[in-house]
Amino acid sequence: MDKKQMTEEDIKLRFITPAITDKWNVDHITMETKITDGKINLKGNFVFREKPKKADYILYINANNPIAIVEAKDNNHTVSFGLQQAMTYAQMIDVPFAYSSNGDAFYEHDFLTGQERQISLYEFPSPDELILRYQAAKSMTDTEKQIIYQPYYTSQTTYPPRYYQCNAVNRTLDLIAKGQQRLLLVMATGTGKTYTAFQIVYRLLKSGMKKKILYLADRNLLVDQSIQQDFAPLEKTIHKINFANDDPVTITSHEVYFSLYQQLTDRDEDDSEDNEDDTVSRLAKLFQKDFFDLIIVDECHRGSAKKDSNWRKILDYFSSATQIGMTATPKETKYISNIDYFGEPVYTYSLREGIEDGFLAPFKVINIRTNIGEGWRPFKGQLDKNGKEIEDRIYTNSDFDYNIILEDRTYEVAREITEYLKSVGRMDKTIVFCATEEHAERMRIALTNLNADMVKEHPGYIVRITGSDKFGKSKLKYFISVGAEYPVIATTSKLLSTGADCKMTKLIVLDQMIGSMTEFKQIIGRGTRLREKEGKTHFIVMDFRNVTRLFADPDWDGPIEQDDDYGKGGSHIAEPGPDTPYGTGSEPKEKPIVDEHGCTVKVIGKTVSIYDANGKLLRQEDVIVYTKSNILGEYASLSDFIRKWSDEDKKESIRGLFMERGINLESMKADQSMSDVDDFDFICHVAYNQKPLTRRERANNVVKRDFLSKYSGAAREVLEALLDRYMNTGIYEIEKTEILKLDPFLKYGKPSKIAQLFGGKEGYLKAIKELEEELYKVG
């Protein structure tokens, strides 16, 4: 066969693979290796995955360390045609050599020297050649070589590390082997920071480079999650520190220690940093300064970034240990800096990259506008519920629930959440971020009353989970559990904004002001985890305060840079707390309470926004307008649509046309509370302003016009059953002959026997066609 006529697969089989395997053991080669999962796209209300990125060949030093990428093309392309693709993949997985081939030769790009060259098929370098070139360029020490050959932890119950997790682990271990003492890893929420930390710890322990490791977090939930899940393979060597009960003599027998830093300083989880002068003395009772040789600080943006924090006192006490800070959202302000302490990130994997690669869930934003969104002003002398005069000024989103309580606004937000869940699924896990803990309780009550049918069946359907609510906090482990159905809706203020691994969250409701980009990223991160097998492919952000304007901020997913004013002095001004008037430094005061008679609140508009992975607005559209424009693009007029609907033997093909354009008519009808309407009526209503009839009304019209009188006996009973089926499920079901194999048609025999009631198959299909024409005669 002429080489030019061969496919890419033929070229690989006959030329490229033999050239590689001549030098490389097949155990060190993988083919068609999936690097990413393929981005999930949201088109209208249709969800689909793009093709994943796959490398034709990846060559490995060992299981831990890939060293080269090879991309193949057919012989109609030049030798170097695939080199840019190979280089892109090589940069993604951190390998120093990239090759392309069309079966005639190889083209090499060496990232160590920046040079390119063409080599013959027989000159493809061996593993030893590439390793020597790599080690020479990196000036590797014996310690570095030792850590390279230390394997990852693998088992039947753990998944292999993704490419970016391998990058994070390998870069960290390389730098530790070189002697670097402080390192910062930045990985978006949901990308497996703790799993990455586990692999770092595992390889360091097994190589003997580190022997005593401390894992620090500031929330019990994070510690317990880590021990029970990602670090479970090391359970026999793990100890969770309890300052009150631990014996300084026996505590030293473990390898991996987990602790809340509050426990090391003998404080409660929710205590502030104030009045802690004895941190070091407490530490000294349990551990010598040089006891730990590695410390990992989880969510390091929260505490250790402050120079005077107790986190920092712990890290300073164990200053001889290698220290790794891990966070999704580094904090860089005038007063706080992760970079100042840990240095520039050794590896960053952002939310944008996670969504682009298909490892994180994309999202839509529904901005909801109310009649008071631009502000509300009481009339002169207006009194609140308690008979007190309300201060005369314009109240805005920054005031609602912080400085004034509008009861009808709380009800309207709760009603909108309830209506949305009724349209998409009452069991969709939902977090409602409220202004204060008090607001979270009012929201819980409003949602409970609006979802009384669900609460009646299961009282735990809705719960408030806040820092001061012990009952609510006891339900947190069930809320974040994939296996536990209840609770479904959690109202909160701050507690769920960070750390909690809420894998099944499908709806995030923003009804609080967010002034910090760090906090905004953390909140959005509550929804980014994918659980496709359980039905979670994306999530919705429902915004009642226009805080999603932060997507337009350059800091949304930009590079991490230290604030120019960091360390120049000045007093630290704290961000507004959860229970203080937003944006003020005043003492909390009694808030006016205005009932629905004093201020009536109504939703006046909704806008659906689709953002790309960079946070850039792709499109912003009213859902109905988008659907209408697509209908009018396909059918010029009402008569044109009716004619095509009538002529179409299988009406389901029309629904398929809309699916291709990203419009799921069933979901659309549910969104508009029109699930009892036929697709025919919905389309006529949306695009041509026709009054819709329900399926029941259409079926009743058929009965009233006595259409069925022309049939008798079992034939009429079959048509009556089909009409009943139409009322319940729509036109598409009765078009399928398979329906005759189901109840209640089974009693009439096989489909062929039923067809004989109408004189045969043609007679049956004619009867169905006439029934359809009769259904759509009116309207």
- What pLDDT is stored for residue 578 in this prediction? 40
**pLDDT tens figures, 573-592:** 333 344 444 444 444 578 99
For 134-170, the three-class secondary structure string (H helix, E strand, C coil) is HHHHHCCCHHHHHHHCCCCCCCCCCCCCCHHHHHHHH
Going 359 to 64 to 157 to 32, the CA torsion angle's sign is positive
Read off the tokens for 637: 């007029």
pLDDT of 636 strictly over 50: yes
Q: What is the mean pLDDT of residues 182-193?
A: 90
- What pLDDT is stored for residue 565 in this prediction? 43
Q: Where does the pLDDT of residue 623 fall: very low under 50, low under 70, confident under 90, or very high at 90 and above?
A: low
**pLDDT tens figures, 25-40:** 999 999 999 999 999 8
- What pLDDT is stored for residue 674 in this prediction? 82
- What pLDDT is stored for residue 510 in this prediction? 93
| Strands annotated E in 7-81 | 29-34, 40-43, 46-49, 54-60, 66-72
Q: Where does the pLDDT of residue 474 fall: very low under 50, low under 70, confident under 90, or very high at 90 and above?
A: confident
CB 583 within 8 A of CB 576: yes
Q: What is the mean pLDDT of residues 211-222?
A: 84
- What pLDDT is stored for residue 691 in this prediction? 87
Read off the tokens for 174: 């390389």
**pLDDT tens figures, 420-448:** 888 788 999 999 999 999 999 999 999 99
For 709, left (φ over 0), alpha (ψ -120 to 50), or beta? Answer: alpha
User: Of 19-23, 237-241, 330-334, where does mean pLDDT reach its minimum?
Assistant: 330-334
The model's pTM is: 0.73
Q: Where does the pLDDT of residue 728 fall: very low under 50, low under 70, confident under 90, or very high at 90 and above?
A: confident
CB 357 within 8 A of CB 36: yes
**pLDDT tens figures, 350-395:** 888 898 899 998 888 888 889 998 899 999 999 999 999 999 999 9
Question: Kind and range of the H or E element at 365?
Answer: strand 363-370
How would you list the strands of the sheet with 429-434, edge to edge? 462-464, 489-492, 429-434, 505-511, 539-543, 363-370, 603-611, 617-621
C-alpha of 412 from chain center: 27
Read off the tokens for 495: 């507690």
Cα gap 664→657, rounded to integer Å: 10
CB 679 within 8 A of CB 730: yes
**pLDDT tens figures, 147-164:** 887 888 888 888 889 999
Cα gap 779→773, rounded to integer Å: 12
Question: Kind and range of the H or E element at 412?
Answer: helix 407-424
Q: Where does the pLDDT of residue 331 fall: very low under 50, low under 70, confident under 90, or very high at 90 and above?
A: low
Q: Where does the pLDDT of residue 660 fall: very low under 50, low under 70, confident under 90, or very high at 90 and above?
A: low
Q: What is the mean pLDDT of residues 192-208?
A: 92
